[in-house]
């Protein structure tokens, strides 16, 4: 995906979120209340034990970046930086006020473990975007979804389920 394609998807996402907030029904976006455990990861993340409203976009509107992490790790490998640099360029060009970084895992391990690991991965990407890219921390929210919303439900342990998704909220 090019930076221009990423920007186009972010604009479409933001418009869908705005329409949803105004009470309009939109195709391609399902708002789902998702229970969360643990500490808040960003400005609008829920408190411990709360819920967050997650926007599940149709595949053609998703901005999924397959950042690969080593097993049981939230560290970003050097070979993954070109993907993050592309996202950095798109975010710098965008006038989106708030991006949500959503971490996902495969289905190996317990729900609790995967939720924690996915959140740590999203927070590490957020940290990289703030420290290495210069995106303002206030523009980024990190959220972990664990093994919910598998990219490849036919193979719950598949590597493509371990990803980071970006959403334009406002």
Distances 63 to 23, 46, 51, 115 between C-alpha atoms, Å? 24, 23, 23, 20
The CATH code of domain 3-168 reads: 3.30.1330.60
Q: Between 62 and 4, whose confidence is greater?
A: 4
Q: Between 89 and 37, whose confidence is greater?
A: 89
**Residue appearing with tokens 């186009």:** 8
Q: pLDDT of 119-157, one tens digit each? A: 999 999 999 999 999 999 999 999 999 999 888 999 999
Q: What is the pTM of this model?
A: 0.82
Q: What is the mean pLDDT of the chain?
A: 84
Q: Exposed/middle/buried for 149, CB within 10 Å: 0-12, 13-18, 19+? A: middle
Bridge partners, 99 (sequence order): 140, 168
Q: What is the pLDDT of residue 159?
A: 83
CA atoms 132, 168, 138, 151: torsion sign:
negative
């Amino acid at each position: 995906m090019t930076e221009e394609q990423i920007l186009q998807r972010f604009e479409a996402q933001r418009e869908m979120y705005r329409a949803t907030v105004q009470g309009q029904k939109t195709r391609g976006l399902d708002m789902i209340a998702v229970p969360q455990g643990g500490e808040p990861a960003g400005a609008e993340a829920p408190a411990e034990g709360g819920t967050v409203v997650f926007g599940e976009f149709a595949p053609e509107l998703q901005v999924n970046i397959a950042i690969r992490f080593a097993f049981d790790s939230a560290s970003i490998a050097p070979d993954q930086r070109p993907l993050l640099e592309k996202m950095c360029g798109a975010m710098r060009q965008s006038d989106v006020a708030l991006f949500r970084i959503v971490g996902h895992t495969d289905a190996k391990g317990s729900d609790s473990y995967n939720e924690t690991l996915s959140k740590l991965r999203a927070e590490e990407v957020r940290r990289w975007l703030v420290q290495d890219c210069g995106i303002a921390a206030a523009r980024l929210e990190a959220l972990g979804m664990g093994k919910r919303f598998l990219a490849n439900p036919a193979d719950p342990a598949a590597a493509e389920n371990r990803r980071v998704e970006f959403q334009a909220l406002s």
